[in-house]
């Protein structure tokens, strides 16, 4: 499966292009292959193990701490340890689930990934966290809900298997926010009406005008800052964003089911993880939700699972414009101009979008190298691949030859081409 990223690609493109380059390196296949890492995990007994990549990009890295061991003194390592202990306890003690696969799989985590890496992700084998750039982002282990979000992508992969695009992808993102919120509130001992409903609070450095990456209670209000732009999430189906970027707007449109969950949790009352959380978990795992389920189908599954709270859950969905069982929209794919090279990067946990365009017939100093790269690239042999939650996805238009590629499928030539086109002309290397 493709890696599931925490920061949306449209946000990273705006504030952290260096992290995009790291993601491109991942696409090029650096690091220990998934099958080899799975074999290493299978040979280890602890419920969880935290590694450090020591600011390199090879996974899983060096073991620092595992279940039952004492704190290491490394903030990121110990935050990851606290977070995974709480997350596994949430799923086991509240929902009766043994690890993300339901069968007690050991969890591998890696911190200190890359240089100034502004993201976190689940790659189908382990959880990975960057330290942030210190300019916009703090370390990604700092808010515990980041870890809860990524672990839930693994749970979704092993249950409903919601595909990571369009409405199913937005639901995939939303479900991760749902159980991230449950984890955070459980660790803080908050009821639904006491919670702040923020996802990623504390992820930004002081001075950035942002409360968090997302606000489940008020989508579109989490940040408004010159470096970040304004939070583009929507919270009602009337405002659904039809786009080819960000895997069909999965980070934008997840605000709709997010707000439905928040409304349902407050209406049901008490602790979110015991109330609305149980309803959403039953819907996710009950067999009524599958890879292609849309908002209406998921809403119907939650109402069916809500028992005495069915009216409250149904009203929550109706408030955001979703009628259980209704048919909902899909997204078109825009065209691009010939003789121009365009690159768009979307996805990632923060959802920041990056895009660039270059006229090969113009006098841009990047044009000769880009033209040479275009001549070497065969997009037709590379197109495809399944997007992963919170991973970046790149849309290329090379003089009319178009393809969408998840970050792990980028070749070194495409990585370089993307770096050139996404960078301002005056800042190109």
Q: Using one digit for the tens of pLDDT, what is the confidence trace for 359-410?
A: 988 888 898 888 888 878 877 777 667 888 888 889 998 887 888 889 888 8
Catalytic residues: 150, 251
Residue spans in the chain of domains classed CATH 3.10.170.10: 4-157
How far apart CA 422 and CA 342 sit, in angstroms, is 9
Residue spans in the chain of domains classed CATH 1.10.390.10: 166-176+186-319
In this predicted structure, what is the pLDDT of residue 56? 96
The architecture that CATH gives domain 4-157 is Roll (3.10)
Run of H or E including 199: strand 198-199
The alpha-carbon radius of gyration of the chain (Å, integer) is 21
Nearest CA-CA partner of 210 in 194, 200, 224, 196: 224
**How far, in Å, are 37, 39, 106, 154 from residue 103 at the CA level?**
18, 17, 9, 13
In this predicted structure, what is the pLDDT of residue 7? 77
In this predicted structure, what is the pLDDT of residue 79? 98
Give residue 7's region: left, alpha or beta (phi > 0; psi -120 to 50). beta
Q: Please tell me the pTM assigned to this model.
A: 0.76
In this predicted structure, what is the pLDDT of residue 266? 98
Fold annotation for 166-176+186-319: Neutral Protease; domain 2 (1.10.390)
In this predicted structure, what is the pLDDT of residue 33? 54
Low-confidence ranges of the chain (pLDDT < 50): 1-2, 24, 27-31, 326-338, 426-429
């Amino acid at each position: 499966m493709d890696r599931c990223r925490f920061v949306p690609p449209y946000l990273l493109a705006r504030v952290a292009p260096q992290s995009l380059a790291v993601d491109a390196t991942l696409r090029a296949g650096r690091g220990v292959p998934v099958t080899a890492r799975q074999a290493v995990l299978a040979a280890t007994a602890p419920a969880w193990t935290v590694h450090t990549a020591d600011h390199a990009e090879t996974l899983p890295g060096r073991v620092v701490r595992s279940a039952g061991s004492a704190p290491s003194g490394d903030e990121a390592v110990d935050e990851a340890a606290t977070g995974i202990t709480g997350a596994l306890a949430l799923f086991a003690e509240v929902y009766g689930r043994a690890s993300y696969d339901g069968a007690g799989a050991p969890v591998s985590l890696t911190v200190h990934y890359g240089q100034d890496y502004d993201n976190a992700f689940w790659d189908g084998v382990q959880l990975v966290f960057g330290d942030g750039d210190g300019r916009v982002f703090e370390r990604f282990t700092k808010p515990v809900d980041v870890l809860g979000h990524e672990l839930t992508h693994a749970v979704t992969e092993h249950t409903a298997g919601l595909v990571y695009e369009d409405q199913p992808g937005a639901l995939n993102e939303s479900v991760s926010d749902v159980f991230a919120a449950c984890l955070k509130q459980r660790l803080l001992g908050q009821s639904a009406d006491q919670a702040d409903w923020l996802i990623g609070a504390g992820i930004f450095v002081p001075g950035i005008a942002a409360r968090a990456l997302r606000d489940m209670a008020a989508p579109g209000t989490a940040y408004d800052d010159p470096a970040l732009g304004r939070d583009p999430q929507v919270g009602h189906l009337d405002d659904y964003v039809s786009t080819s970027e960000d895997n069909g707007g999965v980070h934008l449109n997840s605000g709709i089911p997010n707000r439905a969950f928040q409304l349902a949790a407050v209406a049901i009352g008490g602790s979110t993880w015991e109330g609305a959380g149980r309803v959403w978990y039953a819907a996710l795992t009950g067999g009524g939700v599958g890879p292609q389920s849309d908002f209406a189908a998921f809403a119907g599954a939650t109402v069916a699972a809500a028992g005495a709270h069915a009216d409250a859950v149904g009203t929550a969905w109706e408030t955001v414009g979703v009628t259980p069982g209704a048919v909902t929209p899909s997204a078109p794919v825009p065209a691009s101009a010939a003789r121009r090279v365009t690159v768009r990067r979307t996805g990632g946990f923060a959802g920041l979008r990056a895009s660039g365009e270059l006229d090969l017939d113009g006098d841009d100093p990047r044009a000769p190298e880009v033209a040479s790269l275009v001549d070497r690239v065969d997009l037709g042999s590379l197109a495809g691949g399944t997007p992963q939650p919170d991973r970046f996805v790149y849309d290329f238009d090379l003089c009319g030859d178009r393809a969408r590629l998840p970050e792990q499928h980028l070749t070194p030539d495409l990585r370089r081409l993307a770096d050139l086109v996404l960078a301002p002309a005056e800042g190109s290397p």
